[in-house]
Amino acid sequence: MKTEERRTAICPRCGKAYRGRPALSRTDNKTYICPDCGTREALESIGVDEKEQEEILATIHSHTEHQDI
């Protein structure tokens, strides 16, 4: 298992601090955003509305809350 670099970054999309692997924004393909926003953009691209996006994220978080992220 390789060690992943852990550093805190600020997501330019939602303004929240996050750690872990960033996601590349689909809007310009050069901005790195937090994993949550990466999920939001992915869901948005398949036509999921904002309310449903948050529900899906909440579900993802409830399965990953034991992890140190």
What is the size of the binding site for Zn ion (CB under 5 A)?
Answer: 6
Binding of Zn ion by 23 (CB under 5 A) = no
Binding of Zn ion by 60 (CB under 5 A) = no
Binding of Zn ion by 11 (CB under 5 A) = yes
Contact 10, 22 (CB under 8 A): no
Q: Would you say 13 or 53 has its CB closer to Zn ion?
A: 13
Q: Which residues contact 1 (CB under 8 A, 6 or more apart)?
A: none
Q: Which residues pair with 19 in a beta bridge?
A: 8
Q: Which of 1, 6, 10, 13 binds Zn ion (CB under 5 A)?
A: 13
